[in-house]
Structure formats: C-alpha cells, structure tokens
C-alpha cells in the first residue's frame, strides 16, 4: 500500500473515531441533562444527589478525554507508528504529522510504515 493511501486510511480512521467519541460524550451529557431536569422538577432534594450529579458530569468528561487518548494511540499502533528507536507512540495531536513525515516526533527516527 502506498503512503498516500495509507495516510488517507489513517485520517479516515481518526475521523471515524472522533465521531464515535463525540457521540458517546453527547449521550453521557444528554443523560446528565435529563437526570438533572427530572431532579430539578421533583420535590426530593438532597446534597448527596447534587454531589452525585456533579461527579457524574466530571467523570463523563474525564472518561471522554482518556478514551480519546487511548483510542488515538491504538490507531497509531494499528498503522505501525511506534518508534523502533525510542519505543514511543506519537501523541494524539502529532499523529497525522508523524504519519505524513514517517518520522518520530521525539527522536526523529523513521517508522516502519
């Protein structure tokens, strides 16, 4: 497979992953909005439930950040972007430039693409 086709597939996988993780985040935050709306309309009020809703919201955002980092690392590994010299996988924001150049952003060694 030539480099341009590999780069195109890599970008398509990243775009597909971004759509999936965005959809998951919208679902989690939508559930939080529905629960908070129902809770606000009910007569049952508690500081514990307030804290639980805030914790749910914070954990949803943390989950999406961690899932994004892990997912993009897995896509880099799928396309053999692990550096043979230093053993590192490029960070999510360096993934496309590392794929395009074929070099590790850390040490500058060539990938095995």
Q: What is the mean pLDDT of residues 23-32?
A: 88
pLDDT score, position 113:
47
- CA dist 107 and 86 (Å) reads 7
Judged against a pLDDT cut of 70, whether residue 99 lies above it is answered with yes
- CA dist 77 and 100 (Å) reads 15
Q: What is the pTM of this model?
A: 0.70
Of the chain, the percentage scoring pLDDT greater than 70 comes to 95
pLDDT score, position 76:
82
Cβ-Cβ contacts under 8 Å for 63 (sequence gap 6 or more): 28
pLDDT score, position 39:
82
pLDDT score, position 112:
56
Per-residue pLDDT band for 2 (boundaries 50, 70, 90) equals: low
DSSP, collapsed to helix, strand or coil, labels residue 106 as: coil
């Amino acid at each position: 497979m030539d480099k341009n086709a590999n780069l195109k597939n890599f970008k398509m996988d990243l775009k597909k992953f971004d759509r999936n993780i965005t959809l998951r985040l919208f679902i989690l935050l939508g559930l939080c909005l529905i629960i908070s709306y129902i809770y606000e309309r009910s007569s049952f009020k508690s500081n514990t439930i307030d804290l639980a809703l805030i914790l749910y919201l914070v954990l949803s955002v943390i989950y999406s950040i961690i899932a994004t980092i892990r997912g993009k690392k897995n896509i880099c590994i799928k396309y053999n972007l692990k550096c043979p010299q230093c053993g590192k996988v490029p960070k999510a924001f360096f993934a496309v430039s590392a794929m395009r150049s074929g070099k590790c952003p850390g040490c500058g060694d060539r990938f095995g693409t």
